[in-house]
Amino acid sequence: MPEGDTVYQAARRLHGALAGHRLVRSDLRVPSLATVDLAGRTVLDVTPRGKHLLTRVEGGWTLHSHLRMDGAWKVYEPGAPWRGGPGHEIRAVLATADRTAVGYRLPVLELLRTGEEDRVVGHLGPDLLGPDWDADEALRRLLADPGRPIGSALLDQRNLAGIGNVFMAELCFLAQVTPWTPVADCAAIERLVPAAKRLLEANRASVDRTTTSAAVRARSTHRLYVYGRAGRSCLVCGTPVRVASETHGRIGRERPTYWCPRCQRGPVAP
């Protein structure tokens, strides 16, 4: 699932292409929006909220989309071929005279009143890359369930918005605890929140997501400590990185959880 930095970048691309311009084409290819036509309206802004995208248009409307596992928004110049996937995967087309934004495989696409955005994002915790960021509130929410595994707590967007599987694994590595360590037993919990903020801010404009230190990168090309490195040597201690498959969240999909059994202390997956 795209993480907060990826969604932030998508919002910037869409905002740069659409904001301040009148739509000359609107094609929303989901049954509930089949009769909706936003052509003629000006796009006001495109704002990320956690992993959600809010495209606001004049008249008090917001087009809400969520990328989940496979969704993507692509921006094209006039006449350029659309290469984001086959035509049957297109869910939305928003075009101005100069740019065309195409949404592929969007599992969530709905139109709502801008004043009712809280209905879809009001449950989210403080946004790591948003103007509502509140480190104290994020920490309070994490500590509210002390018996919960820290990995699960970090992934819960109701605690703090923007962390996905990659950043969760990397943050647990930096905190030197396994993802299954109860929040109450994570001595570094107060450092995790500002660390999460630093990591997402450092990557919000980067093409290559990076969590490793400059010292590690000076002797290695790897940009992540443990994520995606199952069976390979830990960049710090050399121990093979381990992986477990777990089901997270309501969508019920299994996601890999990575950790170093030497650098990270605490319980492991049952």
Active-site residue numbers?
2-3, 51, 255
Rounded to whole angstroms, the Cα distance separating 11 from 54 reads: 8
Residue 32 makes CB contacts below 8 A (sequence gap 6+) with: 110
DSSP per position, 201-265: HHHTT-SS---S-HHHHHH-----SSTT-BTSBPTTT-PBBEEEEEEETTTTEEEEEEE-TTTSB
b/e burial code for range 3-20 (CB count within 10 A of at least 16 → b): bbbbbbbbbeebbebbbe
Nearest to 125 by CA among 115, 113, 133, 117: 133
The token duo for 113 is: 């009143």
Q: Cα Rg for the chain, rounded, in angstroms?
A: 20
For helices 4-18 and 189-203, the axis angle rounded to 10 degrees is 30
Nearest to 94 by CA among 32, 35, 21: 21
Residue type, 19: A
* Cα Dmax for the chain: 59
Residue type, 225: Y
